Structure 1
Amino acid sequence: MNVFNTLNIPAANAICYSGFREGQQPGGVYPNYHEIKEDLEILSSSWKYLRLYDCDKHAQTVLEVIQKENFDFKIMLGSYIVAEMNNFGCPWGGGIYSEEELQENRIKNQNQIEKLINWANTYSDIIFSTSVGNEACVDWTDHYVPVDRVVEFVKMVKQNTKQPVTFCENYVPWLTKLKPLTEVVDFISIHTYPVWEYKHIHESLEYTKQNYYAVANTYPNIPVVITEAGWATNSNGKGIHPENVSEENQKIYYNDLITWSTQEKILTFFFEAFDENWKGSPEPLEPEKHWGLFKIDRTPKLVMQNETITQKINV
C-alpha cells in the first residue's frame, strides 16, 4: 500500500532540507531570508516536497519565503523533541541528563508540539504533513523519548490539525517497540542507511528494499514512507569505510533509489539537499558533514551535474 492512495498526497519528488551554511548552526547563526530564497531557487526545479526537522527560526524563514515568493513547495514539518529519559546505551556517551534537565526537556517538548500545531494551522496551504519527532526512540539516540509519550504527541497533533501525522525513525524500532505508534499515526516514516550498516554500494538498494518491506509487510494496512535515505560522499573512517563513500557511489545509490521508489510509488525523501559543516566532529571528513547532493557552497556534486531529475510517480 502506498501513501498516495490513502492520504491523497499528489505524486512528486521529495528531499530533506536544512539550509545551514559555513559558520551557521542551530542555536547560533541561522540562514537569512536571502540565503534560503537562494536555496529554494536551486531546489525548485527538481523537488516539490521538502522535509524540515524542527519548528525553529530556520523553518519559520523557509515558510515565510515560500509564502511571500510563491514557491511551489509543500512541507513536511517536524518538531524536534529532546530527551525525556536517560539512554545509557548511547554509543558516543550522550543521552545522560539530570532529572532537572529532563523535566525542562518535557516542558520544551510540550511547547514544541504546541508550536507545530500552531504553524500547521497558520501555514495549512504549505504544510502537507507533520512529524512529532526524529529518531527519538532508537536504541542509540542521545535524545530518548519513551514511546508512550510520543503516542501522546501524535494524538495531540491529530486532534488539533487537519494534516496527516507521522513520526520519523530508523526502520528497526518500527518492527518492535513502535507498534503502539502504528495504531495512532496516519503513516509510518522510516530511515534506511545501508552505508552506515557497512553495505557495499552494489548491495545498497537491495538492503534498502529489505528494510522497507520488513516494515511494510508487518503493517500492510498502514502507508509507509521513506523520510531519510542517502549516501555520504566522504568519511574519516569512523562508522563508514572511506573506500565505500564517494560522489560516484552517491550517484549510483541516488539513481537506483529513485528508479525503484518511482516504480513502486513510494514517497521517498532523499537525505539531503546540502552538506552541513556544523554536524558531527570538527574533523573535515566527518561523514555527518557530507550527505548533500550539493556542497556547502551550493555547487552540485556529481549526481546533480548536467542532470535533469525526472522522478514522477503515477498514482
Structure 2
Amino acid sequence: MVISCNQKYSRNLAPNEITAEMILGNNNYQAICYGGYRTNTREVQPTIDEIIEDLKILAAINIKVLRTYNVHYEEVSNLLKAISKLKKEDPKFEMYVMLGAWIDCKNAWTELPPIHNEESSRNAIEIEEAVRLTNQYPDIIKIIAVGNEAMVKWATSYYVTPTIILKWVNHLQDLKKQHKLPKSVWITSSDNFASWGGGDAEYHVEELNQLIKAVDYISMHTYPMHDTHYHPVFWGIKENEQKLSEKEKIDAAMLRSRDYTINQYESVVKYMKSIGVNKPVHIGETGWATQSNEHYGTDGSKATDEYKSAQFYNLMREWTTKEKISCFYFEAFDENWKDKANPLGSENHFGLINLKSEAKYVLWNEVDKGTFKGLTRNGKPITKTYKGDTKALWLDVKTPTSILKN
C-alpha cells in the first residue's frame, strides 16, 4: 500500500496560492534534483543566464519542481533570480523549489573526529538563510528540507542524530505558527529510507518517531543502483531466464530494481504507520548513473549504462505517476565536481543530459520530437549521445553475470 498526497486542482491560481500540498503527488508537477554546475569545482557558480538555459530545457520536458541542497553558494540565489526573471517574461511560466538547508555534525569535513550528537555552528546560518529566501520568494519556494542524508549512519563524515534534525524542523514549524514563514510551506528532511525507519532497527529511536510526527511529509531516498554492489539480492539473472535474449535479461533485472525500490518505499510507510502516523511519503531522491569505473561498471556489477538508466527512469516515472507519489529524480544534468579526482566516477554521471549538452538515451525521443528545438546549454543545441547510434550505445551495455535462484 502506498500513501499519496491529497491533490487539489491548482491551475488558474496565483503562484502565492499554490502550495506544497497541491504540488506533491500531483502528476502535473513532475520533479527533479537540480545542480547547475558546469565545471569540476563549486567555486565557479552557474550564472543566471546559464540557469535560465537549464530551466527552459527542464520546462520543455514538463518539469515544474526542483530540489536544491544548500544555501551557502550563489547557485541557489541565482536559481531563484532566474525563475523570477522567466516568470516576469512569461506569467504562465511555472517552476517551484524544494529548498535544501545543509546540516552536518560538529567537526564534519575536518581532520578532527566528527561528533555526531553535536552540530556544526554552520547549521544555524543555513537555516536562517533558508528562512530569508523562503520569505523573499514565497511564490517559488514551497518546501524546506532540513538536511540531505544527514541522519544515515554511512555518512560517516557528517551525519547527525535525529535530535538535531528534529530541533530545526520544530524551529521552522514554530516560525510558521508565528507568521514568520508562510504557513503553507511544508517542512521535511530528505534522507535515506533506512533513516526513516525502513531499514535496520538501530534507527528505530524515539527521536525519529518524534521527527516523523513533526514533518509535514516524509522525503525518502532509495538507490537500487548502489545496492547492485552492496546488497545484490535482486541483481542478476534468474536460473529460468538463462535462455532469454540479453535485452530481456536486462529488462527483467531492471523490473526487479523497480520492485526493490517499491519495497523500500513500503517499508518506510509500514514503519510510519506502526507509530500511529499517516501522512504523505514522497521520493526525495532516486536515480541511476550511466557510467562508472568503480563498483557499478564493467568490472563490477555491470549496472551503469544509458540503457539501464533509461529503463529505471521510465519505470520510476510510470510507478510514481500511477501511485501519485512525487519523485525528485536524481538528477537533471551531469555535474563533475562531485568526484573531480575520478572523471569516470558514478557520482559525475547521474544526469539526464551530459556536460556536452547531449541528451542521454532516456531523452532521445524528446530530441526526435523537437522538444528542445531552439534551446541550448552552454550555447550548444541539445543533441543525442552516441550521435543517436543505438548499436554503438549497446556496445556499452553489459548483462549482469550473477545467477539468482528462482
TM-score when scaled to structure 1?
A: 0.88
Query: Deviation per CA, 1:204-235, whole angstroms, max 9, x where unpaired?
Result: 10000001011112224021010101111011
Q: Runs of 5+ in structure 1 lacking a partner?
A: 87-93, 309-315
State the distance in 1 between where 2:280 and 2:110 align: 31
Deviations 1:244-272 (A, max 9, x none): 11100011101111111111111111100
Give the superposed CA RMSD.
2.3
Structure 2 equivalent of residue 108 of structure 1: 122
Does the CA-based 8 Å contact 2:352-2:362 persist in structure 1? yes
Q: In the aligned structure 2, how far is the partner of 1:14 from the partner of 1:223?
A: 16
- Among 192, 215, 219, the residue aligned to 2:222: 192
1:207 aligns with 2:260: yes
Structure 2 gap segments, 5+ residues each: 9-19, 88-92, 176-180, 198-203, 229-234, 236-252, 370-406
Residue pair 2:105, 2:114 contacting (<8 A) in 1 also:
no
Residue 8 of structure 1 pairs with residue 9 of structure 2: no
Structure-2 change in CA distance of 1:243 and 1:213 (3 Å): same
Instruction: Please tell me whether the aligned partners of residues 285 and 328 of structure 2 are also in contact (alpha carbons under 8 angstroms).
Output: yes
Matched, 1:145 2:177: no
Counterpart of 2:65 in structure 1 is: 49
Deviation string 1:82-111 (CA, Å, 9 cap, x unpaired) is: 22367xxxxxxx7763589x98x6321101
Indicate the residue corresponding to 1:127 in structure 2. 141
Report the Cα distance in structure 2 between the residues aligned to 1:96 and 1:143, rounded to whole angstroms.
Answer: 12
Is the 2:47–2:78 contact (alpha carbons within 8 Å) kept by the matching residues of 1?
yes
Q: How does 1:304-315 map to 2 (within 5 A)?
A: 304-307=363-366
Distance 1:62 1:16 in 2: 13
User: Would you say the 8 A contact 1:201–1:244 is kept in 2?
Assistant: no
Q: Letter of the aligned partner of 2:83 in structure 1?
A: I
Report whether the alignment pairs 1:165 with 2:187.
Answer: yes
The answer for the alignment partner of 1:216 in structure 2 is 269
CA contact (8 A) 2:292 2:344 kept: yes
Q: CA deviation at 1:190?
A: 0.4
Structure 1 residue aligned with 2:373 = none
Alpha carbons 1:83, 1:95 under 8 Å: kept? no
Q: Deviations over 1:52-109 (max 9, x none)?
A: 11113101000001012214101000101122367xxxxxxx7763589x98x63211
Superposition map of 1:1-315 within 5 A? 1-5=3-7, 8-10=21-23, 11=26, 12-23=29-40, 25-26=41-42, 28-46=43-61, 47-55=63-71, 56-70=73-87, 71-84=93-106, 97=112, 106-141=120-155, 142-160=157-175, 161=181, 162=183, 163-175=185-197, 176-177=204-205, 178-198=208-228, 199=235, 200-220=253-273, 221-238=278-295, 241=300, 243-280=302-339, 282-307=341-366
Q: Aligned partners of 1:190 and 1:96: how far apart in 2?
A: 30
Percent identical pairs in the alignment equals 35
Whole-Å Cα distance in 1 between the matches of residues 114 and 340 of structure 2? 27
Q: Give the secondary structure class of the aligned counterpart of 2:190.
A: strand
Number of residue pairs aligned between Structure 1 and Structure 2: 298
Structure 1 residue 305 displacement after superposition: 1.2
Superposed displacement of residue 284, structure 1: 2.1
Question: Could you say if the C-alpha distance between residues 72 and 299 of structure 1 is closer, same or farther in structure 2, counting changes exceeding 3 Å?
Answer: same
- Which secondary structure does the structure 2 equivalent of 1:219 belong to? helix
Which whole-Å CA distance do the structure 2 matches of 1:8 and 1:271 have between them?
22
CA 1:4–1:95: 2 relative to 1, 3 Å: farther
Cα distance 1:297–1:4, how it changes in 2: closer, same or farther (>3 A)?
farther
TM-score by structure 2 length? 0.69
**For residues 84-143 of structure 1, what are the alpha-carbon distances to aligned partners after superposition, in whole Å with 9 as ceiling and x for unaligned?**
367xxxxxxx7763589x98x632110110111111111111011110110111011121
Given that residues 95 and 144 in structure 1 are in contact (C-alpha distance below 8 angstroms), is that contact kept between their aligned partners in structure 2?
Answer: no
